Copies of this chain bind each other. A is one copy, B any other.
């Protein structure tokens, strides 16, 4: 894939470099070097999730198959080969039409995204002052519309602090018949501690956490009612009607701009089907907090550690508790009023005839923050695919409309970027 991309880019007239990481190389390309033009850095990835027909695909996952409704099925169609090809198509379209390319384009296409982008963070930091140094703004097309009809621009992501809390006692697993009732059981203590973190309505019970959250302004609040989303959309994606909130506004805020705490599981306890009468000697609870402005990781950690230790102390158990951060990733919010967003917004209006929804996402896309920090420039998430594209699942697809109009959108965006700078 890297070779294919590099040669396509070379054929289009770009200067291409392949930077080997330990594994598949990052393909870097520059298209145009006109100091009088703005320079846009675009990111995508050419690797995909694994796929086998026997996983349940209706078609061969690695043969693009288009059905009569224009759905283009194939692994990577939407995540993220479609959008990557979109950038190449934009260059090609300009060449074929004989239209001058409106900006200088820097491409950063990696091949390890689905494996955690190993090594990319450091690479981006280094190239921030080298290959990427001319970038005036960044555009990433690697997420999705909120629904299926209306394009969106994404200006925020939540961060994630992932914690482990271990409780240990006996030297080895015990038989619950022989020892039940005589020893403090780590699993009992852990369940008590975990039950103090979050309630069934999703409220985080750790004192001080909510005080870190940036208050909702009237201006931000006004963005929500117009967004093309319904509670039915949520229920469809949940596969159930077990939603906490009753309105789309409160639901989207809970997903985008408020923190959440999820309990993921317990390591060391009995997790198989059936029945086993074990008292586990050491259990490790896993939970994470999705973070939002202005929650600084260190502040969150301190609140979590102090509270977990205090709740454990209340149990009067002779067992031993440890709590630590497994990893953290910071939240990201860009200014949706920056010219980078304005250009994209005009492009949506031009191509689709509507104002885009201004959205955030509940999950994290770490590369976003890496580019912002390395370049110091505004980053825009400009999705091509829709919410039903099934990235990472069987029968991944990209609608032909999203692809074709998406190429127009990427091209129009670059033109509005140039127009705005004149």
Q: Mark A residues whose CB is within 8 Å of B.
A: 158, 160, 162, 164, 169-172, 174-185, 187-189, 191-192, 194-195, 198-202, 234, 237-245, 251, 254-255, 258-281, 286, 288, 290, 315-319, 326-327, 361-364
Contacts and interface: CB of A to CB of B under 8 A. Distances in A.
B271 A265 contact: yes
A236 B200 CA distance: 41
11 contacts: A160-B176, A176-B264, A182-B260, A183-B238, A187-B262, A189-B200, A241-B318, A264-B277, A265-B270, A267-B273, A268-B271
A265 B251 contact: no
Contacts of A281: 239
A363 B179 CA distance: 9
Nearest to A240: B170
Nearest to A202: B181
Q: Which one of A180, A264, A267 has the greatest number of beta carbons of chain B within 10 Å?
A: A180
Query: Chain B CB within 10 Å — which of A172, A241, A242, A258 has the most?
Result: A242
Each complex incorporates copies of this chain amounting to: 2
A180 B290 contact: yes
A185 B240 contact: no
B169 A242 contact: yes
A316 B275 contact: no
Nearest to A283: B265
Contacts of A290: 176-177, 180-181
Contacts of A243: 182-184, 318
A172 to B, nearest CB: 6
A238 B175 contact: no
Given A177-B160, A188-B263, A264-B277, A182 B271 contact: no
